[in-house]
Structure 1
Amino acid sequence: MIKYIIVLLSLLSFLHAKTSIVVTFPVHKEFIQKIAKDDFFIKVIEDGYQSFDKRGNLFKNEIYYSDVYLTLGLEEEKKYIELFKKKNRYMKIIDVSKGIEKDIVNGKVNHYIWTDPLLVRELVKNLYNTLSTLKSYKKEFYEANHKVLLKELDEFFLSLKKKFDRNEFYNIYVYEPYWHYIAKRYRINLYYRENRFTDLEEVPALIEHAQLHNIEKVLIKKGSSYEQAQSLASHINADIVEHDITKYNWKVNIQSLARKIARYKKNL
C-alpha cells in the first residue's frame, strides 16, 4: 500500500512540476503570465541590463537546459536557436507568431508585432493554445484568463484610438521599424532615415522635408543612436523620443509612447 502511495505522489509531483520556458524579452514573459499566472518558470534572455554573452554560467545554464523556447521569429533570436540546439537537443522551440500576418518593411519581414493591441490579441491566442498544449490539464484555467485578457486588449485598443484621434500631427522620423505596427494601426507616418550623423550638405533638403511634412519628433530605441538623432533633431528643431518596446508592463509602456509622440488638439 505504501508503495502505491509513493508511486501516486510521484506521479502527482510529475504532473504538477513547473515547465521552464525561455523567452527573448520581458514583455513576452508578461503575456505568458497573464494567461498562465505562475504555472511556468519563465526565463528572459535579454533583460535590458546585460547582454547574454556577459551573463554568468549559472544564468546561461538555466537558459540552456530549459524545456521550451517560445520565439516570435525575430532576427536576433536565430543565434539563440542555433546555440540552444547545440546545448540541449531536447528543448522545444516554438514560434508563437505563426499564422499572424506580418508586413515587409524596408525589404525585411517585420516581427515586432506586439506594439499593436489587435495583433497582440492574435499573439495571446497562440500563446493560450501553446500553453494549453504544454499543460493540458490547466486548459480551462488558461481559457478563462485568456478571455479576460482579450477583453482588456479590446478596451486598451479603444482607449489608445481616442488618444491618437486627438493627435495634431502624424509624421515622425525613425531609424528602425520597431514601431511600424502601432504606427500603421493608428495612422502615424514613419519616415525612415539612415542611422548615421547628418551631413551639413543634407541640411537644407532635410529642413524643407521636415517642414513640408510637419515632422517634429525623432523616435529612437532607448539607449541607442542618441547622438545621431541629436544631429538630426537639432537641424529641424525636433524633439527626441526614446522608447523600448521590449519592456515589462506592456500596457503602461505603450501608453507612455502614445503620450510622448502625440500632441493633442486643445479644443477636443
Structure 2
Amino acid sequence: MKKIIFIVSILFSSLFASNQEVTVTILPQKYFVEKIVKDKFSVNVMVPPGSSPHNFEPKPSAMKALFNSKAYFLIGEPSEKAWIKKFKQNAKNTTFVDTTVGVEKIEMVAHEHHEEKEDKHKGHKHEHEEDKHDHSGVDPHIWLDPILVKIQAKNIYEAMIKIDAQNSDFYKTNYEEFIKELDSLDSEIKNILAPYKDKAFMVFHPSWGYFAARYEIEQISIEVEGKEPKPNELVKLVEEAKKHDIKIIFVSPQFSQNSAKTISNNIGGNVVAINPLTDDWHNNLLTVAKEIANSYK
C-alpha cells in the first residue's frame, strides 16, 4: 500500500512540475529566462553542456521536458529549424516564442581579411573576390551582445506575462532589473575595450561577430567553410595574426584546437579557452573583453 501511495505521489509531483517548466535551446538562454522567471519555472535546455547546437540531436529526456513545457524560447539556431516541425508535433500545448524578433542580424562570416572594408555597426562585409567563401545564412550568435540580449529579454518577458498573467508584476520587476544588469555590463565592456578600438582577436569558430561589431574590434576566424584550414591557409593566418599583432587565440570545447595551437606557436601567442555556450554568461563576456585587452598590454 505504501508503495502505491509513493508511486501516485511521484506521478502527481511530475504533473505539477510539468506545469512549471519552460524550454530553451542553449545554456545562455537559461541564464536570460531565469533572470525573469526566477523560481516560478524550471528551465529545460535542449543542447547539453559540451555539445554544439549546430549538430545536436535532442535526447528523449529533453523531448519529454519540452512536451511538458509551457513555452519554448527559440534563439534562431539552424538546428531549431531542422527540428521545429517535430518539436511542434510533440508539444502541441507549448507556446513557441521567437526571442530574436526585433534583432537585426548580420551575415555569418567565416573569415575576415585586413583589406576588407567593414561597416562594423551593420556588419556588412565588402570582400575581394579571391577571399570569398561560402557564407550562407545569418549569424545566430546574438546572445553574445548584451544590447541584443535586451531585445531577447523583452520577448521573453512579454511571453511570460501572457503565459502566467497572475504573476505579471513579478516578471516586470525581474525584467527591469535584468535590463539594468545588461546596460551595466555593456558599459563595463565598453570601458575595457575602448582603448583597443579596431584591434583584432583570433578565434577558431566565428561566434563573436556581434560582440566584435558592438565594441568596434575585429574578429578573425581560423576555420575555413567550417573546416580546419589547410597548410597554405595556416601560413596566411599566421601572417595575418602577425600583421594585426595578435597575441591571443580563443578556442571553445565544441571545436578543434589544433590549428589554434599551431598558429599560437608561430606568433608567440596564447591559446585561451572560452565557451560561448556557458551558463555563466555575464562573467564569460567580461572575461573575453579582459583577455582581449590584456593581450595588447
Name the CA shift for 1:164/1:141 in 2 (closer, same or farther; >3 Å): same
Matched, 1:153 2:165: no
Shift of 1:197: 4.4
Gaps of 5+ in 2: 1-14, 110-134
* Partner of residue 157, structure 2: 128
* Partner of residue 248, structure 2: 217
TM-score by length of 2: 0.74
Instruction: For 1:169 and 1:93, locate their aligned partners in 2 and report how far apart those are by CA, in whole Å.
Output: 39
Deviates more, 1:167-176 or 1:242-251: 167-176
Shift of 1:211: 2.1
* Partner of residue 221, structure 2: 192
Contact 2:205 2:255 in 1 (8 A): no
Amino acid at match of 2:282: K
* Partner of residue 103, structure 1: 106
Matched, 1:230 2:249: no
3-state SS in 2 of match to 1:263: helix
Deviates more, 1:110-119 or 1:59-68: 59-68
Contact 1:167 1:264 in 2 (8 A): no
* Partner of residue 181, structure 1: 210
TM-score by length of 1: 0.82
Deviates more, 1:230-239 or 1:118-127: 230-239
Amino acid at match of 1:115: L
Shift of 1:204: 5.2
The within-5 A match list for 1:242-253 is: 242-253=273-284
Shift of 1:169: 7.5
What CA deviation, in whole Å up to 9, does each residue of 1:18-55 have, x standing for no partner? 44211011211111111121112311111315686484
* Partner of residue 30, structure 1: 31
Name the CA shift for 1:219/1:136 in 2 (closer, same or farther; >3 Å): same
The within-5 A match list for 1:14-163 is: 18-49=19-50, 53=57, 55=59, 57-106=60-109, 107=135, 108-163=137-192
Gaps of 5+ in 1: 1-13
Instruction: For 1:93 and 1:168, locate their aligned partners in 2 and report how far apart those are by CA, in whole Å.
Output: 39
Shift of 1:128: 1.0
Report how many residues are paired. 251
Instruction: For 1:78 and 1:17, locate their aligned partners in 2 and report how far apart those are by CA, in whole Å.
Output: 25
Amino acid at match of 2:185: F
Name the CA shift for 1:54/1:191 in 2 (closer, same or farther; >3 Å): closer
Name the CA shift for 1:225/1:137 in 2 (closer, same or farther; >3 Å): same
